[in-house]
Every structure is written in structure tokens, then in C-alpha cells.
Structure 1
Amino acid sequence: MLNTKVKDFMQRKLPTITPETEMTVAITELQKFDLIGAPVFNEDKCLVGFISEQELLQPLMQNSYFCEGVVKVKQLMQTDVVTVSSDTNIIELAENMKTNKPKNYPVVDGTKVVGLINRSDILKALFEHYLSCQSHS
């Protein structure tokens, strides 16, 4: 477990959400990939933000009620995003997640988005290791 890295458990297939993506398309993409949030990146796959169900909820409620215009992801996304490297140790990340840190972390190598890891992925990694420990005792 000490050598288990984020890259061993991260999600590699991600929705393509850019700042210009329309809000309803972003929601459809999150649902298609069964995610509560996803990185927002530019045409070079560089991270420019993060969009989650939380940011989408209020404008969707408001626009559903008033049936108003088009909302773009760039109007809603967080731009101060906490990321991890694919070589980050799972235990180290789990320690960070115990506090009020994000539930989702875009995984970046340099400035390029290469995946996403969330609390469920970390739980799975720890659980698999725990079960393997049990079978050896």
C-alpha cells in the first residue's frame, strides 16, 4: 500500500468540458460519466477550472424557473482548483481528504489533465488493500 499511487486508481476517461460548454451539456456529461464534478480544460487539455453539481444547481434552478438564456461553464466553474500528481501516494491523499478538502481531485502531469480521483476511488484502494491484508492473516 505504501507504493500505491493515484495513477493506479484514477479515472482516465473524463468528459470533455471546456469553459465554453453550455451548462446543460456539462450536466449531461457529468451524468454520462457518473461524476459529481469534473475538470474544465482548454483545447490543449490544460486545467482551467472545475465544475461540480454544486455550482450547477443554483443556475439550473433559476433558469428552470424563469426559462432564461444560455449559461456557459466559464460563468460557474471554480478556478482555484486543488490538484494532485499521478505519482501522489494514496495514503497521503487519503490523509488530506480527512479534513474539509475537496472530494474530487483532477490529476495533472505538469499542466495537462490526465485523470480524476475522488473519495470513492481512494476508499476502493484502501478497501482492496485491507481485504488483501485480511486474506494473509
Structure 2
Amino acid sequence: MANQFIEDIMSFQFPVITPETEITEAIEQLQKFDLFGAPVQDKHGALVGFISEQQLLAPLLQSSYFCDGATQISELMTTEPLAVSKNTTVLDLATQMQQDKPKIYPVIQADKVIAIVTRSHVINALRDNYLSCSKH
């Protein structure tokens, strides 16, 4: 386990959401990938923010009630998202997840989002290690 890195468990399947993405398109993308949130990238793939279902709830409720115009992700996203590198260890990220609480982290390489890693990925890796320890 000590040698297991994020690159061993990360997923390359995630939505491409930009600051210009309209709120309903972002919701469709999150649902398509069965995620609660996703990185927001600029046109070069660089991480510029993060959007979660929680952040979509209030504006979606207001827009639904008042039937007012389109909302872009740039108006809602967190602009200083936490991210990890593929060389971060699973144990380090598990520890960080206990303190910082995000459920999804973008994986960054050369300032570009290359993958995501979820709390479920980390829990599954820890479970697998736990099970292998209990067999000895």
C-alpha cells in the first residue's frame, strides 16, 4: 500500500466542463459520468475551478422558480480547487480527504487535468489493502 499511487487508481473518464458551460449542460455531464462534481477547465485543459451539485442547487432552484436566464458555470464554480498529482500516494490523499473533505480531486500534470480520483477510488484501494493484510 505504501507504494500505491494515485496513478494506480485514477479515472480518465470525467466530464469536460468549462467556465462557459451552461448550468443544465453541466448537470447532464455530471449525470452522464455519475459524479457529484467535476473540475472546470479552460480551453487548454488547465484547471480553473471546480463545480459540485451543491453549488448548482440554489441557482437551479431560483432559475426554475423565476424562469430567468441561463447561468454559466463561471458564476458558480470554486476558483481555488484542491488537486493532486498522479505521484501522490493513496495514503497521503486518504489523510488529506479526512481534513479537507472533497469527494473528488482533479489529477494535474503539467498544469492540465489528466484524470480524477474519487473518495470511492481511495476507499476501494484501502479496502483491498486491508483485505490483503487480513489474509496473512
What's the TM-score, normalizing by structure 2?
Answer: 0.96
Query: 1:131 is matched by which residue type in structure 2?
Result: L
1:33 equivalent in structure 2? 33
Query: 2:32 is matched by which residue type in structure 1?
Result: K
1:1-137 maps to which residues of 2 (within 5 A)? Answer: 1-135=1-135, 137=136
> Alignment partner of 2:10: what SS?
coil
What is the CA distance between 1:110 and its match in structure 2?
Answer: 2.3
> Alignment partner of 1:19: what SS?
coil
Unaligned runs of 5+ in 2: none
> Alignment partner of 1:123: what SS?
helix
After superposition, the C-alpha distances for 1:56-84 in whole angstroms (9 at most, x for unaligned) are 00000101111110000111111011110
What is the CA distance between 1:92 and its match in structure 2?
Answer: 0.7
**How far apart are the structure 2 equivalents of 1:93 and 1:16?**
23
What is the CA distance between 1:41 and its match in structure 2?
Answer: 0.4
What's the TM-score, normalizing by structure 1?
Answer: 0.95
Query: 1:96 is matched by which residue type in structure 2?
Result: Q
**How far apart are the structure 2 equivalents of 1:94 and 1:79?**
23
Structural RMSD (CA): 1.0
After superposition, the C-alpha distances for 1:20-41 in whole angstroms (9 at most, x for unaligned) are 1000000000000000000010
The runs of 4+ residues in structure 1 deviating greater than 4 Å are none
**How far apart are the structure 2 equivalents of 1:4 and 1:59?**
40
**How far apart are the structure 1 equivalents of 2:132 and 2:34?**
28
What is the CA distance between 1:101 and its match in structure 2?
Answer: 3.1
Percent sequence identity over matched residues? 49
After superposition, the C-alpha distances for 1:76-101 in whole angstroms (9 at most, x for unaligned) are 11101111001100001111111243
